[in-house]
Amino acid sequence: MRKSSILVVDDEKFYRSSLQRILARVGHDVSQAADAGEALAMVAQSHFDLVVTDMQMPGVDGLQLVAEIHGLRPDLPCIIVTGFGSPESSVEALRAGAFWYLEKPFEQKSLDVIRSLVEQAIEHGRLKAENRNLQGELRFRYRFDSVVGTSAPLRELLALVMRVAATDSTALITGESGTGKELVARAIHFNSERAERPLVTVNCGAIPEELLESELFGHVKGAFTSAMSHREGRFSAAHSGTIFLDEIGDMSPNLQVKLLRVLQDRSFEPVGSSETISVDARVIAATNQDLEKAMEEGRFRADLFYRLNVVPIQVPALRERREDIPQLVEHFLAVLAHERGSELGPMSDEALEVLCGYDWPGNIRELENLIERLTVLGGKGRIEASDLPASPFRSQTPRPSSMRLPSEGLSLRAEVEQLERDLITQALEHTQGNKNRAAKLLGLNRTTLFEKIEKIKKKGLSEPA
């Protein structure tokens, strides 16, 4: 068996040292901690194969320590040293999640007994970790299904995601807006060894600069005028899990320095405090900005860029993988059918062709919004090309202001109905379906808008204009 590293925790130096001697004699690397706090800090910072802790210690006792260790490292086996002739405490030890207990005085136990106990505990931890990995792999395959698409660029992306998920490296996800950067970040976390631990997302672009620092690192009471009490930061919340820093390109230079420090030292100080906090959080960052350009312009620190860009992940734009469009349409229609009972769909080949020919500057989010927009009015059945919104899909339809009467004439009623339908749909979309606000936007009273919607519904969305 390879040399394992064992942490021995006891407030009494005599017992610590004698355990250390015994364990070293059976061939392991042994470190010591004098109390639970020290032990936890060591477990957070280094790798151990086993913890052997005394049960009775002032402050946090061995039972509680084991629970806290398992919060941090669920697979790390622990052995609790109990007092002589106290069967209740051995039961308590096992209940607290210890692998086994070791009764004092252990000096009189044969070395073979201790060696075998230690080896069994370490093997148990190894199997637990392995089992978790296998489960993670299963989950990975399962969750893979929620990422729709089979195009070559998407398959490449997913293969990369799989490789990155198996490591603990920092990753930088880039791509245009709406391409699925957040989805990729989630896929990495949920398929990593940290899947059972928290995934904390911080949108660096959405939080005002003055607040972002305390949001990330926390603050102490009185750190600034509105800091009425102590607050834990998002980095602490992400401890043992993953922190996803979205829109990293928007972070101010001042904060970029602090983030660099966390990536380098894995530690930080809350705002207004001089206490250094260690953190074990995997960092995944994303941006739709060109960070290399931002570096040239001095808006983004090069040292931070290289720290983040350990594994670069470029999410392709939708127009680079148009083959995925039909599947995505089907997926979003199915989601809306499931979530809102929509009876819209499927989409005609002609309509799909229009969508596949479009450039999608807003990428998958734009496609998702389109499908949602088509269901807002409760349309049913097949979606024809003529059901697609005039802008941007039927640009041949002139805008009313510039509309010229074709020489063969037109149906004024049909044109006006079409315009009305488009504007009502837009208003409902704008107000997330709130009919009162939509009516206001259109300068109509509620009842009139209701009547118009009913009329449109009756005619059905799929009926060509």
- Which residues of this chain interact with ligand ATP, rule CB under 6 A? 147-149, 175, 177-183, 288, 331, 364-365, 368
Least Å from the CB of residue 147 to ligand ATP: 4
| Residue range at the interface with Mg ion (CB under 5 A); choices 40-48, 105-113, 178-186, 337-345 | 178-186
Q: Give 74 or 205: the residue with its C-beta nearer to ligand ATP.
A: 205
Q: Give 277 or 318: the residue with its C-beta nearer to ligand ATP.
A: 318
Least Å from the CB of residue 250 to ligand ATP: 12
Between CA 183 and CA 300 the distance in angstroms is 25
Q: Give 4 or 179: the residue with its C-beta nearer to ligand ATP.
A: 179
Least Å from the CB of residue 201 to Mg ion: 9
Helix (H, G, I), strand (E, B) or coil at 2: coil
Asked whether position 182 contacts Mg ion by CB under 5 A, the answer is: yes
177 binds, among ligand ATP, Mg ion, none (CB under 5 to 8 A by kind): ligand ATP
Phi, psi of 449 (to 5 degrees): -65, -45
Helix (H, G, I), strand (E, B) or coil at 104: coil
Phi, psi of 19 (to 5 degrees): -65, -40
Q: Give 337 or 385: the residue with its C-beta nearer to ligand ATP.
A: 337
384 binds, among Mg ion, ligand ATP, none (CB under 5 to 8 A by kind): none
Kindly determine how many residues on this chain lie close enough to bind Mg ion according to the rule CB under 5 A. 1
Q: Give 37 or 433: the residue with its C-beta nearer to ligand ATP.
A: 433
Smallest CA-to-CA distance from 282 within 204, 165, 170 is with 170
Check: CB of residue 36 under 8 Å from CB of residue 72: no
Check: CB of residue 242 under 8 Å from CB of residue 197: yes
Q: Nearest 5 degrees, angle CA 38-CA 268-CA 278?
A: 25
Check: CB of residue 330 under 8 Å from CB of residue 366: no
Residue of this chain nearest to ligand ATP (CB atom): 180
Least Å from the CB of residue 69 to Mg ion: 35
Least Å from the CB of residue 139 to ligand ATP: 17
Check: CB of residue 136 under 8 Å from CB of residue 191: yes
Q: Give 147 or 311: the residue with its C-beta nearer to ligand ATP.
A: 147
Residue of this chain nearest to Mg ion (CB atom): 182
Check: CB of residue 64 under 8 Å from CB of residue 36: yes
418 binds, among Mg ion, ligand ATP, none (CB under 5 to 8 A by kind): none
Between CA 430 and CA 424 the distance in angstroms is 10
Least Å from the CB of residue 321 to ligand ATP: 9
Strands 231-232 and 218-219, by their bridges, are: antiparallel
356 binds, among ligand ATP, Mg ion, none (CB under 5 to 8 A by kind): none
Between CA 222 and CA 338 the distance in angstroms is 49
Smallest CA-to-CA distance from 356 within 308, 398, 319, 401 is with 319
Smallest CA-to-CA distance from 286 within 239, 332, 242 is with 242
Q: Give 321 or 421: the residue with its C-beta nearer to ligand ATP.
A: 321
Query: For 250, which DSSP code?
Result: G
Least Å from the CB of residue 244 to Mg ion: 9
Least Å from the CB of residue 179 to ligand ATP: 4
| Residue range at the interface with Mg ion (CB under 5 A); choices 139-147, 152-160, 181-189, 301-309 | 181-189
